[in-house]
Every structure is written in C-alpha cells, then in structure tokens.
Chains A and B, each alone.
Chain A
Amino acid sequence: MRLLAVTRLTIEEAGRRRVLHATLLCGAAFLVLYAIGFHYIVRGIEHEQGPMAAVQHMFVRNLFTIVGLYAVNFLMVMSAVLLPVDTLSGEIASGVLQTVVARPVHRTEIVLGKWLAYVLVIWGYLLLLAGGVLTIAYFTAHALPPRAGLGLMYMAIEAVVLVSLSIAGGARLGTVTNGVLAFGLYGLAFLGGWVEQIGSMANNEATRNIGTIASLLMPSESMWQLASHQMQPEFLAQMRISPFSIASVPSQAMVLWAVLWSAAVLASGVIGFRKRAL
C-alpha cells in the first residue's frame, strides 16, 4: 500500500533527523532530573506525621506526578509541531516531492502517510516519556495517578490535534509561517484555557465564553485539562487546591470536537496539497 510506503519512509526519516535526537536527549535529561527531584521530595515528606499526613503525602505525590506529565505534555507539544512542520513544505520547496507525485500515488496518500507517521512517532515519544514519569513515580513514591490510561489517551488526542495542524499547514504554507501559525494557535488555546478557568472561578460568564471559543478554535489545551483532571484523585480535584485542578472541566463533546477538528484541518490540508503546483 502506497500510503504505508510513505509512512515507513517518513518514520525512517524522522528517526535519522537530529531534531528527534535532540528531542529524545531533552526527554532523557528531563527524566533523570525528574527522578532525582522526586526522590528528594519523597524523602522530605516521608517522616512527617500528623492526622493529615496521609492526605498530604498523597497530594504531594500526585501533584509531582502531574507536574512531570505537564512537562511531558509541553515537550510533546513542541515535538508535535516542530517535527512535522517542514515535512511537506520543505519537500515542496526543494522539489523532493516531484518524483514522488509523478508516481501512481494519490496526493491524499502522501499527506495521510506523513500524518500517520508523525502521529505514531509522537505517540511513541509520549509513551516513552509519560511511561518514564509513571515508572519513576511508582518506584520512587509507590504512587500512580488514577485513570492514567484515560489521561494518556487525552494527551494522545492532543498530539493528533497538533500533528494535524502542523501537517495541514505544511501543505499550504511555508515552513516558518506554518510554525508561527501552529504555535500561535497553541498559545491562543493555552491562554484561552486559563481565561476560562479564571472566568469559572469568578463566575464570569463572558470570560468563560471567551475561553470556550478559544478551545473550539484550537482544542489542544482542553485535552490537557481533561487529562490532568482525570489523573487526580476525585477529592483533590474537587478541593481545587492543586494548580492542575480546574474549575470548568471540558465535556466529552470537546473530545469529539477535537477529533472532528483534527479531521477537518487534515482534510483542508489534503485539499490544499491536491491543488498545489509542485
């Protein structure tokens, strides 16, 4: 199947690129730092006694696990935008795609083949880093967040949102413009997420709506919010004492929206690439 031939080559290419090596190196450095930090935090709290000690221990352990996953989320966002940002635009500009498109391959297969490759690469990266964080949390503090699988699934959907945006942008725009647009939209969603939370806490409908609109425009941050919400014990989430506790939890409709949004953005990239002069 030609789509899988494109996917295979793209994965091989990603594996040989320095940007992925740098990303993996940063990820490894982060995990080492995280393990050391977690070790000392656990040592610091394990001798504390008192009626609330167990709750405090649970809070700190869960908080530090979510902090680790938050850092993983950040690294994943960077990778999901930067790794595929030039895969189409760069190959269009250099002319690499001319001999490929002249083959009996549909242009849609090229876009989808590359998209699939980067989704798999980023999911692998997510699994590696998030798996590292959870393993460290388990062996250092005997702590695992609740519903970790569900949380990781939301993070995986967030990766799909960002890879779709980056690939679709590359089909229509130059590399730099595509990168600026992808990070700009991510920034908008990030800011919108905070605005929505503050609006919810202040019971300000207008502010909350602004955040919701930002999430509809770019549903990446809402996926992280759902992930972090799911991975906190319920009573901690309800107490809202953690910086990752949210006042307005995105609904399941937002998950569906993120999937549909990704499909629509990718479809627009396919249409753009089909008409593009090479």
Chain B
Amino acid sequence: MTTFEPGLAVETRHLRKRFGEKLAVADLSLAVRRGEVFGFLGPNGAGKTTSLKMLLGLVEPTSGSGALLGAPIGDRATRAKVGFLPEHFRFPEWLSARELLRFHGRLLELPEAVTRDRAERLLGEVDLLDAAHRPMRGYSKGMLQRAGLALALLGEPELVFLDEPTSGLDPLGRLLVRDLMRAMRDRGVTVFLNSHLLGEVEATCDRVAFVKAGQVVHEHAIAAAAGDPVSVLLRAGGLDGETVEGLARFGRDLRRDGDEVHLAVDSEDALPEIARWVVSRGATLRHLSADRVSLEDKFLEVMGSDQRPG
C-alpha cells in the first residue's frame, strides 16, 4: 500500500492521464507543503486543468498515485476539507448565490445555521451581499467568479484549488482575489493556484512549478529568489572603453549599446560601487537601475522557444 507524507497538502507520484490517443498528462510528480501558496504554471494545453481534475477526483488517472492532505485522491472525507473554483465556473442558473451556498452546505452536511452564517460572511467578503438573492443568470462574469470563490471557501477548507480565479475580473476584482488569497495564507490554508497570469502568480505565490506536456520541468521559489541574478541598466554620457571594461569586475554578461550598458550582477549591493566607478571616470551618470529576472523571463527560459501562443 502506498503511503503518503502527511505534512504535504498535495503529493503526486507519476500521475498520468491518457484520453484515447491523446496524452494529457505525461508524468506529474509534485509536492506542495501545507500552508503554501503554490503556483501551477504552463502554457495552454500543458495539462494543468486535467492535473487539477485528477487531484479532485473529477477525472480518473490512467496510472500513478496522489494524495491530498495525506489521504489518497478520491477520499471522500478529505474532500470536505478541500475547496475548488473551476476555470469555467458553472451553476444552476436559476439559483441565487445564497441558494447555491445553502445547497453546498447540505452537501458538506453543515448545520443549516452554520451554512447561513458562513454564507452571509463569505458573500460579504466577496462583495456580493447586494445581489445574493438574485438568480445568478443575471450576474456578470466577475460576480460569478466571486460567487464561485465564496463557494470554494464555504467548507472552511485546508486546501483550495483555484483554476484561473482572476480570468474575466476587472482590476478591482483581481485585487479582491489577491487579498482573499493572502487572507487564506494567513489562516494557514494551502492554495493551489492554476494560472497563466504570471504577474498574478508572482504577486501571490511562495513557489511555482512550470508544467510542460504534463510534466513538471522546473520548480521556482519566488520568496527565495534573492539569489537570482539582477539585471543592471546604466545610461551615461562620456563613457570610454576602459570605463566600460572596468564594469566587468562587478558582474557578468557585460554588453554596451551606445550610451547604454547592460550587466548582470549578483545583488543590488553592487549598484553604489558601479555608480562610484562611473563618476570617478569622469562620465555623466544619467540612469542606473536594477531588475530581478521576472517570472515571465524565467517562464520563457524554461518553456523554450518551441512554444506557440495558445
């Protein structure tokens, strides 16, 4: 019998899914710690949604194994501790958001009073109280997404799967989702975020996994990215060749383009030294900035140039 690590919120071992001729997920092995906000990144068709569905028991894996909160995937009792917002959130359109939450409260076997209290609190948190009594067929995309978020949180889950939670939301809606995710992290809830909005992921996740053709090809700790190289841009007048060559000792990948110099350094601490060197050489320093390698750069680097827009 396979044993799983109880300290992990999500664990998969060589999970694979084939639909006829099509291999949707080739070999997914993952480990997500409890309390982590985990980003699951990949281009369209990388098998992200199928992976999520396998974890949630919506799709049966062809082979491999996995666990949520230490219990094998599909375990019914564990599903009470898991929240889920699908990418395309659909609902019985004649129901109001309040009625939908009450129905799911019954599926979770919560006492009616508990469901009522939680529903009102969550509908308030997602700013839907005004419309909570109206049939959801009249909701905007953003309102539906927010109703879906309230639904995902109804069972006060320990683990929440969010599949593209901000798609279709306006900037205010995105901010609200971001705040909700931070609040979940503060409460120790594990968030498994499936998204292709890299800025979103960068702003909220502790760690990300890049998925390509149904396999994790790279894992990247966003919080620990201090060790990643810093890209420096310097713009100055009166730069001579010796000054530029002298910059090489501060870092690597030195490149001059007219008045601009590009350089990769290990840390922002090198910037004052660079400025002192340029000024001491009699050049006129006009601009000096440093940028960390963005998640987008990393994504493009990991995915390679063979990817086509989805």
Contact = CB atoms under 8 A, between A and B. Distances in A.
Interface in A96-130: 96, 98-106
B77 interface: yes
B88 A100 contact: no
A94 interface: yes
B134 interface: no
Nearest to A277: B59
B247 interface: no
Nearest to A98: B86
Nearest to A9: B103
Nearest to B106: A5
B92 A104 contact: no
B28 interface: no
Given A102-B79, A278-B53, A278-B59, A13 B88 contact: no
A86 to B, nearest CB: 12
Contacts of A131: none
A16 B99 CA distance: 14
Interface in A244-278: 275, 277-278
Interface string B126-160: 00000000000000000000001001000100000
Contacts of A43: none
A9 B58 CA distance: 21
Contacts of B107: 2, 5, 100, 103-105
B80 interface: yes
B82 A102 contact: yes
Chain B interface bracket (under 10, 10 to 19, 20 to 34, 35 or more): 20 to 34
Interface string B42-74: 000000000001001111100000000000000
B60 to A, nearest CB: 7
B77 A104 contact: yes
Contacts of B151: 99
A95 B151 CA distance: 15
Interface in A193-216: none
A99 B84 contact: yes
Contacts of A98: 53, 56, 58, 84, 86, 90
A119 B257 CA distance: 78
A2 B57 contact: no
A9 B96 CA distance: 13
Contact of A101 (B57, B88, B108): B57
B240 interface: no
B76 interface: yes
Nearest to A93: B90
A103 B104 CA distance: 8
A5 B58 CA distance: 20
Given A2-B106, A98-B58, A99-B86, A104 B91 contact: no
B90 A96 contact: yes
B291 interface: no
A13 B90 CA distance: 15
Contacts of A8: 106
B89 interface: yes
Given A13-B94, A95-B90, A277-B53, A103 B79 contact: yes
B58 A277 contact: yes
Contacts of B56: 98, 101-102
B53 A2 contact: no
A16 B92 CA distance: 11
Interface of B: 19, 53, 56-60, 76-80, 82, 84, 86, 88-92, 94, 103-104, 106-109, 148, 151, 155
Interface of A: 2, 5, 8-9, 13, 16, 94-96, 98-106, 275, 277-278
Given A98-B58, A99-B104, A277-B59, 9 more contacts: A2-B109, A95-B90, A98-B84, A99-B91, A99-B151, A100-B104, A102-B58, A103-B107, A103-B155
Top 10 nearest A-B pairs by Cβ distance?
A5-B106, A95-B90, A103-B107, A104-B79, A278-B58, A102-B84, A104-B80, A277-B59, A104-B76, A96-B90
